[in-house]
Amino acid sequence: FVRRSRWSISRITACCARMLHFAIPALFVLIWSTGFIAAKFAVPHGDLQLFLLVRLSITAVVMALLALTAGVRTWPVGQQLSYQLLAGVLLQGVYLCFSYFAITQGMAAGVMALLGSLQPLFTALFVVFTGTRLSARIWMGLFIGFAGVACVLAPKIASSGADSLSLLAVAAALFSVLGVTAGALLQKWLAPVDLRAAASVQNLGGAGVALAMTLIVGTGEWDGAPALWAALSWSVIVASVIGTTLLMWMLRHGDATKVTALILLVPPLAAVQAFLFFGETLSFVQLVGLAFALAGVLLARSTGTAVKERASN
């Protein structure tokens, strides 16, 4: 009886672990895809750079309070503190601030989302350059996923016109993608500390970038409308506190290329949310693209696709 009970407990534990393996990535993608939707609610009521400064600052305080309440003692110090701040500068500050700056410079949100979905490919290229080989299945999954994203966003890109692709907007968008790619890779190799403490420090680093951007290009607009406060509350509690924590957890416990492949699902889901909340069109081609993006991510993240060996000299 004891042996049978132990066997049952082990099976239940394994089943729960498998459920978490799928539930956490799915929840992360759903949360991460609401970023541009929240920003769209905020745009008519406040400056996006100031919005990000307030969001990241509040998040840093919230995560610090959660860590202190839980009695966390392992805070990053010295060189590790510098690395955590740098990760926040890249992963939070550069990515969000320059993405939103590109949009304020006239780039259509659909085009920005498409450029943002280049992150998994940038990550894969960086991994290859460091000597790690990736399987053909991962490469195929990434390109299929990117093709799906292109199908989802093609109607928006076609309707946005060439004016949305100014040199300054494109440069800011690509810089944001490079920032989040470098931040995700750096996050993977940071010394393990409590996630709440790390998130507090990293959001503080991101807030520093937002402060600089607010002073340089911000307008300071903030009308205090209920929609603005609602977008801020959602961005802090859901997108930052929950979403960023899930991303950091996955980067610590998973392969960087597989984790960033999830980003391919963000633009398609954002298009679906725009259809639900703002009545934007969602054509058959876009639905097909959503299916391709999902298939590509599943293929890239399938078990046993990564080749861990170093390339021979």
Threshold 0.85, pTM exceeds = no
Output the pLDDT for position 2.
46
Q: What is the pLDDT of residues 169-182, one digit of tens each?
A: 888 888 998 898 89
Question: Mean pLDDT lowest for which of 132-141, 157-166, 208-217?
Answer: 157-166
Mean pLDDT of 27-50: 85
Q: What is the pLDDT of residues 98-141, one digit of tens each?
A: 988 987 887 766 667 667 777 777 777 777 777 777 788 888 88
Please answer whether residues 208 and 82 qualify as being in contact, where contact means their C-beta atoms are separated by less than 8 angstroms. no
Give the amino acid at 12: I
- Confidence label for 309 from pLDDT (cuts 50, 70 and 90): very low
Mean pLDDT of 197-223: 95
* Mean pLDDT of the chain, nearest integer: 80
Output the pLDDT for position 15.
65
Output the pLDDT for position 305.
42
